[in-house]
A = this chain, B = another copy of it.
Amino acid sequence: MQFDIITIVGAGLIGGSLGLAAKQRRLARTVRGIGRKQASLERARAVGAIDEGFLEPGPALKGAGLVIFCTPVDRIADQILEYSACYSPGTLLTDAGSTKESIVAAVEGRLPAGIEFVGSHPLAGSEKRGPYFADANLFHGRLAVVTQTPRTDQAALSKTVAFWQAVGSRVKIMVPADHDHALAMTSHLPHLVAAALAGILPPDVFELTATGFRDTTRVAAGDPNLWSAIFAHNTGALLEALRPFSGRLSQFQAALEAGEWSTVESLLTQAKKVRDALGN
């Protein structure tokens, strides 16, 4: 048993899955949840993701050894700091946010003595929302990024790494800015592109979509609030990622216009090599 009490802030898909995973793998005696609505907390309890639900941080954080913030990226840093008076000595804080640099920068150096924060991002999720879709194995075999800066406490870092490994993840330690630049390419740009593809589809051709269109645009079903907050946190890197993408589109366009099929084919071949390398 790694912790007596783990408290999850925001018991939706990610938070709920962490609760289920922590309980199934016996990482905590009790899993608590903090939410804004009693009904959401009831749902999380009904699916077994949390043992106890709280609307207020005070009683939820008392005695917790680990607190995991699974709220939207634009809420995480504020909440971590707002709850400062409620943490018990030695509490470890982490999060599951899709962006890291601005969260880590906003929190570092602003916590009470003895309270450590280490940023995390489990690369697992779904376009679905809510604890009903929670899955104890969501993190199994997936990568979790854990962030390190010159101010990161080594013992807190080790405990955070051990936690993600305990829920089945592989762990990669990264500098926050490196994480954000990489995720701009692997997640934020694909989301923007999928939204652009879905957004321009005329209603009269909806019935002519098949699995290809549905796969390519699946992430566009994600929550617009969550994703506009992610884009706002990582605007610079996302705009940087757009540049090579637009450049590649222009290469395709020029080759199509000129009827240079060997260029089209070599662009497609190079893309296939990358995609094949990623596996299913």
* Chain B CB within 8 A of A114 CB: no
Q: Which of A7-15, A51-59, A159-167, A249-257 contacts B (4 or more CB under 8 A)?
A: A249-257
Residues of A within 8 A of B (CB-CB), count: 86
* Chain B CB within 8 A of A168 CB: no
Closest to A179 in B: B208
Closest to A174 in B: B208
Give bound CA distance, A101 to B222, whole Å.
36
B245 near A196: Cβ-Cβ < 8 Å: yes
Residues in B with CB closer than 8 Å to A247 are 200
* Chain B CB within 8 A of A213 CB: yes
Residues in B with CB closer than 8 Å to A252 are 192, 195-196
Cβ 8 A contact of A219, one of B206, B216, B261: B216
* Chain B CB within 8 A of A259 CB: yes
Q: Binding site of A, secondary structure by majority: helix, strand, loop or mixed?
A: helix
Residue-wise interface mask of A (117-150) relative to B, using a CB-CB cutoff of 8 A (1 in contact, 0 not): 0000001111000000000000000110100000
B205 near A182: Cβ-Cβ < 8 Å: yes
Chain A residues in the interface with B (C-beta under 8 A): 123-126, 142-143, 145, 172, 179, 182-183, 185-187, 189-202, 204-225, 227-228, 231-232, 235, 238-239, 242, 244-249, 252-253, 256-257, 259, 261, 264-272, 274-280
Besides A198-B272, A212-B219, 15 other A-B contacts (C-beta < 8 A): A172-B208, A186-B212, A190-B213, A200-B245, A200-B247, A206-B274, A216-B219, A218-B275, A224-B268, A224-B269, A224-B272, A227-B268, A239-B256, A239-B257, A246-B249
